[in-house]
Amino acid sequence: MALKSPLGFGMMRLPVKNGDPTDFDYEKLFPMVDAFIKAGYTYMTAWTEAAASPRPAICSTTRRSGLRTALM
């Protein structure tokens, strides 16, 4: 799968619940990532300002959308 653009979906400020940087709000995040993928983009950045790693959120969203399988 080729990159459509050098710009990616930034995981720096993910929606969280109750201000807790370790509790990602997947109800808000999934539609955002779905729209990004539907537009044909595939690149996601994994930097975050929060103390928590965005890795669980990235894994959940890409696995759910099928993007993870498509890229492997």
pLDDT in tens, the chain (72 residues): 555 666 777 777 788 899 887 888 989 988 888 888 888 887 777 665 555 667 777 777 777 766 654 444
Q: What is the pLDDT of residue 71?
A: 45
Q: Considering its fold, how many domains does the chain have in total?
A: 1
How far apart (Å, rounded) are the C-alpha atoms in residues 18 and 64?
A: 24
Q: What is the pLDDT of residue 28?
A: 92
Where do the DSSP E strands lie in 1-72?
9-10, 44-45
Specify if 1 maps to a domain: no
How far apart (Å, rounded) are the C-alpha atoms in residues 3 and 42?
A: 7
Specify if 71 maps to a domain: no
Q: Model-level pTM?
A: 0.65
Specify if 25 maps to a domain: yes
Query: Which tokens hold the place of 61?
Result: 């969203």
Specify if 19 maps to a domain: yes
Specify if 45 maps to a domain: yes
Specify if 56 maps to a domain: no
Q: Which of 49, 6, 42, 48 is nearest to 61 (CA)?
A: 42
- The sign of the torsion formed by the CA atoms of 64, 30, 36, 6 equals negative
Domain interval for residue 45: 10-51
Specify if 70 maps to a domain: no
